[in-house]
């Protein structure tokens, strides 16, 4: 069931949190609309393509999508690229590091025409015009991908944070975090393994604290609102993770 995160004066943010069935990891997909333009964030793989396409029809004609945003290269982010490229008119927005790799996900007959469908984002990020506003594509490199970006929507004041803040939850992912201390258990293992190190986390937090935030919405699990935004930023800025935890025990010949 679609979840309306924001709706005011022609600007809407919609979340889809229940489209993955079977053994796939739960993931959230997002639609942002402004005026006559639209963007899907991290649409996922073939597990979600059909269901997401059907769900989008309540809001737009999927064929006329303006953009598809891929925060990074993982299967649960963009493995359905072939279907979106061949069935919509959308421009694919992604890190320049992944532009040369994504053609492996589409038919070879598209050839040189494929480059016309990509907007490559350089490491510093950029503004992305959408209707009467412009989204901010902000860097989140090594959190957890080497070429990783997030979307900040200045109208709704929502940061769509990709895997940063992700949680593995058994109940409804549409519910905002209400008990941060209890919620840490659903985030800890993932962040210790997938975030590169504390330095990158601290640099990211220093950047994000400059944003006017109403909500942080990750690609997996529950969003953060209110005081829990501050609690999450404090927690992740102090987390030892990734290369911080490596020792010679992690590099032994079996």
Q: Give the domain extent around 135.
A: 3-246
In a domain, 253, yes or no: no
| Residue 72 reports pLDDT greater than 90 | no
pTM summary value:
0.93
Residues near 167 by beta carbon (within 8 Å), at least 6 away in sequence: 177, 183, 186, 187, 190, 218, 220, 221, 222
In a domain, 184, yes or no: yes
In a domain, 82, yes or no: yes
> How far from 5 is each of 24, 126, 153, 245, CA to CA, in Å?
24, 24, 12, 36
* Average pLDDT score over residue span 225-237: 98
Q: What percent of the chain has pLDDT over 70?
A: 91
Residue 17 pLDDT: 82
Per DSSP, 66 falls in state -
In a domain, 252, yes or no: no
3-state secondary structure of 77: helix
Residue 22 pLDDT: 57
In a domain, 251, yes or no: no
Residue 123 pLDDT: 97
| Residue 177 reports pLDDT greater than 90 | yes
| Residue 132 reports pLDDT greater than 80 | yes
| Residue 171 reports pLDDT greater than 70 | no
Split into its structural domains, the chain has a count of 1
| Residue 30 reports pLDDT greater than 60 | yes
CATH of the domain at 187: 3.60.15.10
In a domain, 86, yes or no: yes
Q: Confidence class of residue 174 from pLDDT cuts 50, 70 and 90? A: confident
Q: Confidence class of residue 77 from pLDDT cuts 50, 70 and 90? A: confident
Residue 46 pLDDT: 74
* Mean of all residue pLDDT scores within the chain: 90
d(CA 12, CA 34): 7
Residue 154 CA neighbour count, 13 Å, CB half:
14
Residue 113 pLDDT: 60
In a domain, 47, yes or no: yes
Residue 131 pLDDT: 96
Residue 20 pLDDT: 65
């Amino acid at each position: 069931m679609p979840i309306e995160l924001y709706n005011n004066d022609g600007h809407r943010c919609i979340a889809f949190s229940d489209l993955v069935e079977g053994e796939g990891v739960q993931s959230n997909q997002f639609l942002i609309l402004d005026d006559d333009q639209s963007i899907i964030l991290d649409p996922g793989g073939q597990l979600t393509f059909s269901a997401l396409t059907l769900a989008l029809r309540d809001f737009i004609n999927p064929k006329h999508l303006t953009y598809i945003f891929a925060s990074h290269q993982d299967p649960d982010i963009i493995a359905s690229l072939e279907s979106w490229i061949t069935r919509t008119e959308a421009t694919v927005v992604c890190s320049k590091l992944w532009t040369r790799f994504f053609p492996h996900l589409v038919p070879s007959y598209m050839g040189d025409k494929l480059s016309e469908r990509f907007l490559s984002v350089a490491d510093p990020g950029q503004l992305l015009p959408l209707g009467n506003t412009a989204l901010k594509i902000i860097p989140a490199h090594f959190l957890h991908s080497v070429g990783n970006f997030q979307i900040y929507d200045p109208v709704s004041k929502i940061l769509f944070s990709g895997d940063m803040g992700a949680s593995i939850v058994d109940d409804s992912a549409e519910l905002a975090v209400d008990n941060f201390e209890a919620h840490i258990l659903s985030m800890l293992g993932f962040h210790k393994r997938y975030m590169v190190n504390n330095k990158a986390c601290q640099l990211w937090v220093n950047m994000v604290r400059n944003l006017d935030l109403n909500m942080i919405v990750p690609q997996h699990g529950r969003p953060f609102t209110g005081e829990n935004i501050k609690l999450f930023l404090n927690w992740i800025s102090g987390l030892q993770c990734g290369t911080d935890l490596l020792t010679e025990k992690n590099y032994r010949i079996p």
